[in-house]
Structure 1
Amino acid sequence: MRLVPNSLHDEVAAKLRDRIFAGALVPGSFIDESALCAELSISRTPLREALKVLTAEGLLRHEPRRGCFVSQITEQDLDEIFPVIALLEGRCAFEAARNATDADLAALEQLHDRLQRNAKGKRITEYYETNFAIHEAIILLANNRWLAQVIGDLRKIVKLARLQQLHAPGRLEQSLSEHMAVYAALKAHDAEGAEAAMRTHLTRQRVALRELARNQKSRITA
C-alpha cells in the first residue's frame, strides 16, 4: 500500500487514528515505526510527524528512548473529561435549539428514526455511528467554531471508551430515551431544555462506563 505524498503525515495520522478507534491498535500497544514504514512505503519523517499529531491529540503517549504507545484512558481521565464535555455539548444543544430551521429539524428527525431502528435491532456499532452523527449535527447547528474545536479534541479521547458503555445492561434503551428528549427540546426550540437534556445524556454515559468497569473488575476478582 503506497500513500500519495500530498499531506503525507496527515494521511498517516488518519490511518493510525482509524486503527486506534477500531481497536486494531489496542491501548498500551507499542507503535512499531520500522514495521509501519515498511507497510506504508514511507520514510521515518512523515511517520514521526504523524505520531506527533496523535500525541498532541492524546491518542498516543511518547516515552523518551522507548517510543510511542497507544494511550490508556483511566477512570480518572473519564471523571475529569465527561463533566467538561457535558458542559460544552450542553451549550451546543442550547445554541442549536435557537438556530435550527425546519429543514435542520427534518434532517435530525431522519437521524433519530435511524437511531431508533438500530436500537430496536440491537445494532450497537450502527447505533453508535448514528449517535455520533447526531452529536456532530447538533455541534454544527450551534455554529460556534471554538466550541466545535474543543469538543472535537476531547471526543477523540473519549471515543476510546464511549462505545463500551452501550454494552452495559439497559444502556442502549436509556441512551435512546435521552436522545429523544434532546430532540424533543430542539424541535420545540427550548434552548434551556435542550441544554439540560444533553448534559443529562452525557453524564449518564459516564455513569454507565463506571458501572461497566466495576462489573468487569468484579468478574476478574471473583
Structure 2
Amino acid sequence: MVALTLAPRALYEEVAELLRQRIFRRELQPGAWIDEMRLAQELGISRTPLREALKVLAAEGLVTMKVRRGAYVTEVSEKDLRDVYHLLALLEADAAAEVAARADATDLAALQALHGELEAAVADRDRFFAVNERFHMALLERADNRWRLQMVADLRKVMKLNRHHSLLKRGRIEESLAEHRTLMAALRAGDAQAARDGMQRHFANGLEAAG
C-alpha cells in the first residue's frame, strides 16, 4: 500500500486530523477498536506518531483508551448526549447574549451572510451541517472568549459521534432554520435575553430530535 504524503506540520497532528475525519465519516464506527499496527502500516509511519495522535483524540473525547486493550472510538450514551447538549446550551446561549449586546454592523453582516448560506442549503443536508457549524463557531468567535470557544469546539466533536444526529430527523432541518431566523432577529435587535433564550430553545429542540 502506498504511504500517504503528509503535510509538513507535526506528523502526529496530521494523523490526528486524518483519524478525526474518518471517525466523523463513520469509517471508524463508535465502539470500534483501532488497530494501531494496521493503521501504521497503511499510513507508512511508525507507531509513535500514531500513539501521539490517539492521545490528542482521547483528550478531545473522540477516542477512549482502555488499559491493555488499546484505543477505541468513543461510544456516546444517552446521558453523554444530554450532558453535551446541556453544556453547549449554556455556553452558546451565553455567547449569543454577549454578541447581541455588543455586535457591530460588521459582525452582524458576517453572521447574516452565514445565515443566508444556511437558508440556501436547506435542501442539501451535508452542506447544511457544515454551514450550521460555521455559523455557531462564528458567533462564538465574536463573543471573544477563547476558553469558551475551545470548550465548545471539543464538545461539538463529541456531539458528532452521535449515531442519530438531530438534523437527521425528518423536518428537523426546517425547524432548525426557523430557530436560526429567530436568533438572527434577536441579534439584529440587540436583544441579549431573546438571543439567550433562542439559543437555549435551539439546543433543547435539537436534543429532543436527537433522542
State the TM-score, normalized to the length of structure 2. 0.94
List structure 1 runs of 4+ shifted beyond 4 angstroms: none
Provide the secondary structure at the position in 2 that maps to 1:160: coil
Query: What is residue 133 of structure 1 aligned with on the other side?
Result: 134
- C-alpha contact (below 8 Å) 1:162/1:205 kept by paired residues: no
**Correspondent of 2:93 among 68, 90, 96:** 90
Shift of 1:5: 5.8
Superposed CA deviations along residues 182-218 of structure 1, whole A, max 9, x for unmatched, are 11111111111111101110111000011xxxxxxxx
Structure 2 counterpart of 1:209, one-letter code: A
Greater CA drift, 69-78 or 94-103: 94-103
Query: What is residue 70 of structure 1 aligned with on the other side?
Result: 73
Gaps of 5+ in 1: 211-222
Structure 1 counterpart of 2:13, one-letter code: D
**Correspondent of 2:47 among 41, 44, 47:** 44
Structure 2 counterpart of 1:168, one-letter code: K
Shift in CA distance, 55/35, structure 1 to aligned 2, threshold 3 Å: same
* 1:7 aligns to 2:10 (yes or no): yes
* 1:24 aligns to 2:37 (yes or no): no
Query: What is residue 177 of structure 2 aligned with on the other side?
Result: 176
Structure 2 counterpart of 1:73, one-letter code: V
CA distance in 2, matches of 1:162, 1:99: 37
Superposed CA deviations along residues 169-194 of structure 1, whole A, max 9, x for unmatched, are 22111100001111111111111111
**RMSD over aligned Cα, in angstroms?**
1.4
Superposed CA deviations along residues 95-138 of structure 1, whole A, max 9, x for unmatched, are 1112321122112112111111211x2x1111111100110110
Provide the secondary structure at the position in 2 that maps to 1:69: strand
Shift in CA distance, 162/149, structure 1 to aligned 2, threshold 3 Å: farther
CA distance in 2, matches of 1:35, 1:62: 17
Superposed CA deviations along residues 63-102 of structure 1, whole A, max 9, x for unmatched, are 1222111011111111222111101100010111123211
Q: Which has the higher helix share?
A: 1
Shift in CA distance, 173/143, structure 1 to aligned 2, threshold 3 Å: same
Query: What is residue 161 of structure 1 aligned with on the other side?
Result: 162
Query: What is residue 148 of structure 1 aligned with on the other side?
Result: 149
CA distance in 2, matches of 1:104, 1:162: 34
CA distance in 1, matches of 2:141, 2:54: 28
CA distance in 2, matches of 1:3, 1:128: 27
